[in-house]
């Protein structure tokens, strides 16, 4: 009789051991990396062990699987032996049924449920014994690695897509949140977008850039600069494509202060201007942000592959891609986009699609064009005449003004009661 009680106690101990391995696997894999890093930095030894275990997941999982399967097989064998002694041949079926129920409930479901609900605390609790077990079973885990390598070969995936993982974590944590958290989500996502966007997607196009002609009269230049809302202006000579420097308002005022009344009309703007910083239009925003920081610059001239002037990009433009529009007392609210009484908007053709999406909370594609006029040209494959109307991406567009072949102004209705096809034309164009 004593032997039977010994078997029962042994089976119970093995089931608890199986539960320990199952819950340890769940707790250690579900523990927060950020939390463990914070605790480890504060001197928590168990948190450091958790980090070491998670950094070598192959050894961790292999050791836990070996231990878990070993105790499960041993518990089942002992239960079968005891059941056969009590119930003869039917003992095998009874032992299988009872052990399946016991292992499922007490060695899998309950331990793992508890571990997933208390992952961080449980991981810290089991870190030391699991670390010891991993060290003891190292020869077996190495053998399992070699066997896996022989049958399955090496992993062809060199590295995980960390960016997509981060995006998934942001969506998971802030999918259902308040408006403030949604803004935080947008900023975090925008930081990741910096490695995909190029400067030509956010730059101010050359047609909208305020520029100083070095050949103008000094008094005209001073009047133009002081009436401009910008602190830095490109300086050109002869034609706008020939940019020779960048004029900072502070440098201009300092030069005026240092000059006397006699030579105020003779000072040379070209000598006051700072050297020009040119960047290719294909530069990634993440790289350009780092370049601005390294060079201690705030302003750059964007050129294409032929070296032709395309526009300007500033440090503020890149920061606004992360945090949204930054307005000061000189900025015009919704520049280039004016709301109308009927719910429509009058938009300048050179307004970028990204800015318009942000201002109007819409989702126009910007993969084929950077400005709203460019999108209309791309979708219609024509140069529309003033008055031409188009239904594109569920919105109604009407061309208001056109200068030569450039659409300078159009009207947009963002909400339509009846939208049929992706595109429909109600007025012919040239």
Q: Residues 6 or more apart from 38 whose CB is under 8 A from it?
A: none
Distance CA 299, CA 297 (A): 6
Separation of CA 173 from chain center: 14
- Token pair of 353 as six digits: 């699609």
Predicted confidence at residue 260, as pLDDT, reads: 62
At 418, the pLDDT band (50, 70, 90 cuts) reads: very low
Which residue has better confidence, 418 or 324?
Answer: 324
Closest CA to 415 of 361, 350, 352, 349: 361
Predicted confidence at residue 331, as pLDDT, reads: 53
At 422, the pLDDT band (50, 70, 90 cuts) reads: very low
Predicted confidence at residue 229, as pLDDT, reads: 85
> Picking from 51-60, 190-199, 268-277, which range would have the lowest pLDDT averaged per residue?
190-199
Predicted confidence at residue 88, as pLDDT, reads: 80
Report the predicted TM-score, pTM, of the whole model to 2 decimal places: 0.57
Beta strands in 337-405 (DSSP E): 337-339, 345-348, 389-392, 395-403
Predicted confidence at residue 423, as pLDDT, reads: 47
Predicted confidence at residue 341, as pLDDT, reads: 87
Asked if residue 421 has pLDDT above 60, the reply is no
Which residue has better confidence, 267 or 145?
Answer: 145
Q: Residues 6 or more apart from 182 whose CB is under 8 A from it?
A: 174
Give all strands of the β-sheet with 389-392 in edge-to-edge order. 337-339, 345-348, 406-413, 395-403, 389-392, 423-425
DSSP label of 150: H
Structural domains of the chain, with CATH: 2-152 (no CATH), 164-193 (no CATH), 199-323 (3.10.580.10), 337-425 (3.30.465.10)
At 190, the pLDDT band (50, 70, 90 cuts) reads: confident
Distance CA 366, CA 339 (A): 22
Asked if residue 245 has pLDDT above 70, the reply is yes
At 179, the pLDDT band (50, 70, 90 cuts) reads: low
Report the greatest alpha carbon distance in the chain.
121
> Picking from 164-178, 312-326, 413-427, which range would have the lowest pLDDT averaged per residue?
413-427
Asked if residue 10 has pLDDT above 50, the reply is yes
Distance CA 396, CA 415 (A): 8
By three-state DSSP, how is residue 161 classified?
Answer: coil
Give the end-to-end CA distance of the chain in Å, rounded to a whole number: 102
Percent of the chain with pLDDT over 70: 87
Asked if residue 419 has pLDDT above 50, the reply is no
pLDDT tens column, 327-367: 655 555 556 788 888 889 999 888 888 778 877 878 888 87
Predicted confidence at residue 430, as pLDDT, reads: 47
DSSP label of 140: H
Beta strands in 214-336 (DSSP E): 232-236, 243-248, 278-280, 299-303, 309-314
Predicted confidence at residue 114, as pLDDT, reads: 94
Question: To which H or E segment does residue 213 belong?
Answer: strand 212-213
pLDDT tens column, 90-134: 888 998 999 999 999 999 999 999 999 999 999 999 999 999 999
Average pLDDT, the chain: 84
Closest CA to 300 of 228, 226, 232: 232
Which residue has better confidence, 163 or 11?
Answer: 11
């Amino acid at each position: 009789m004593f032997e039977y009680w010994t078997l029962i106690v042994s089976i119970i101990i093995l089931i608890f051991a199986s539960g320990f391995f199952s819950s340890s696997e769940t707790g250690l894999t579900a523990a927060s990396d950020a939390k463990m890093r914070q605790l480890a930095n504060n001197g928590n030894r168990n948190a450091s062990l958790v980090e070491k275990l998670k950094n070598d997941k192959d050894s961790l999982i292999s050791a836990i699987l070996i231990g878990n399967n070993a105790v499960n097989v041993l518990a089942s064998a002992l239960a079968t032996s005891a059941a056969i002694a009590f119930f003869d041949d039917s003992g095998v079926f009874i032992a299988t049924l009872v052990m399946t129920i016991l292992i499922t409930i007490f060695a899998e479901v309950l331990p793992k449920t508890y571990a997933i609900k208390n992952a961080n605390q449980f991981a810290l609790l089991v870190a030391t014994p699991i670390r010891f077990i991993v060290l003891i079973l190292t020869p077996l885990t190495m053998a399992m690695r070699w066997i896996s390598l022989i049958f399955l070969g090496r992993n062809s995936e060199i590295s995980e897509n960390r960016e997509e993982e981060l995006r998934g974590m942001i969506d998971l944590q802030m999918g259902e949140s308040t408006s403030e958290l949604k803004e935080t989500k947008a900023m975090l996502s925008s930081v990741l977008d910096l490695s995909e966007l190029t400067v030509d997607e956010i730059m101010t196009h050359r047609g909208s850039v305020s520029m100083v002609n070095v050949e103008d009269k000094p008094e005209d230049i001073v009047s133009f600069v002081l009436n401009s809302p910008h602190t830095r202006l490109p300086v050109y000579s002869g034609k706008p494509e020939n940019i020779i420097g960048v004029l900072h308002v502070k440098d201009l005022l300092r030069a005026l202060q240092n000059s006397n009344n006699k030579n105020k009309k003779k000072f040379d703007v070209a000598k006051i201007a700072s050297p020009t910083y040119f960047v290719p239009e294909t530069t990634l925003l993440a790289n350009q942000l780092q370049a601005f920081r390294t060079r201690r610059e705030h302003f750059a001239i964007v050129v294409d592959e032929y070296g032709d002037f395309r526009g300007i990009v500033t440090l503020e433009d890149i920061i606004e891609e992360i945090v949204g529009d930054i307005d000061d007392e000189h900025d015009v609210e919704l520049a280039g986009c004016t709301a109308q009484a009927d719910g429509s908007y009058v938009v300048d053709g050179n307004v970028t699609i990204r800015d318009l999406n942000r201002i109007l909370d819409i989702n126009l594609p910007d993969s084929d064009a950077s400005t709203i006029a460019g999108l209309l040209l791309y979708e219609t494959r024509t140069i529309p005449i003033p008055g031409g109307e188009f239904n594109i991406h569920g919105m109604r567009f009407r061309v208001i003004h056109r200068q030569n072949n450039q659409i300078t102004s159009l009207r947009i209705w963002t909400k339509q009661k009846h939208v049929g096809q992706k595109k429909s034309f109600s007025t012919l164009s040239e």
